[in-house]
Amino acid sequence: MASEDHIERTFVMIKPDGVQRRLVGKIVARLEQKGLELRALKLKNLDIETARKHYTEHKDKPFYDHLVYYITSGPIIVMAVEGFNAVRAVRQLVGATNPIEAVPGSLRGDFCLDTVRNLVHAADSPEAASRELSLHFGAEDYVSEVRIGEHND
C-alpha cells in the first residue's frame, strides 16, 4: 500500500433528481461495492440557508441561485462515507460534473444527462469534505465501526 493511502471520511449528497428517480439504492450500493462504508445517512429537505453555506464557493457564479433553488426543491440524501482515499474514490465513482463527459461505469455516466440534475454531489477535497460534513452532521449522527457480534470490552 502506498504511503498516500489512508482512511478518509467524505461527504456525498444524492440530489433531488436521484431521490425522485428512485436511484438511492443503486447509488448507495455502488458506494458500498467500491469498498466504502456508510458512517451516517439522512433523508431530509435542505433549507435555503444551509444550501447557501454548502455551495458558498459558487456564490459569485451565475448559476448559484439556480443551484440553491434546485438543491432545496425536493428531498435529498446526505451521507458520510469512509474508506481508503475516500474523497478521490468517490469523485471517480461519481464521474465528471457534465454527465456527457462522465465515463461509462460512473454514476453520472450511467444514470444522467443534465449538468445541474446530475444525481450526486461529492466533496472535492478533504477540506471541503470536513466543512460539508460539519454542515449536515453532528457527532451523534455517526455510527462506529463495530459490527454485529463484535465487542470492544
For residue 92, what is the domain's CATH number?
3.30.70.141
User: Of residues 6, 66, 121, 151, which has the active-site annotation?
Assistant: 121
Total domain count, the chain: 1
Residue 147 — very low, low, confident or very high, per pLDDT cuts 50/70/90? low
Q: Dump pLDDT digits (tens) for 35-86.
A: 999 999 999 999 999 999 999 989 999 999 999 999 999 999 999 999 999 9
For the four alpha carbons of 130, 132, 134 and 136, in that order, the dihedral sign comes to negative
Residue 121 annotated in active site: yes
pLDDT in tens, 77-132: 999 999 999 999 999 999 999 999 999 999 999 999 988 889 999 999 999 999 99
For residue 46, being part of any structural domain is answered with yes
- Domain assignment present for residue 71? The answer is yes
Asked whether residue 148 is domain-assigned, the answer is no
Query: What is d(CA 105, CA 92) in angstroms, rounded to the nearest whole number?
Result: 10
* Residue 28 in domain: yes
Domain of 115 in residue numbering reads as 7-141
Beta strand residue intervals within 15-135, DSSP E? 37-44, 76-84, 120-122
* In-domain check, residue 146: no
User: What are 79's three cell numbers?
Assistant: 451521507
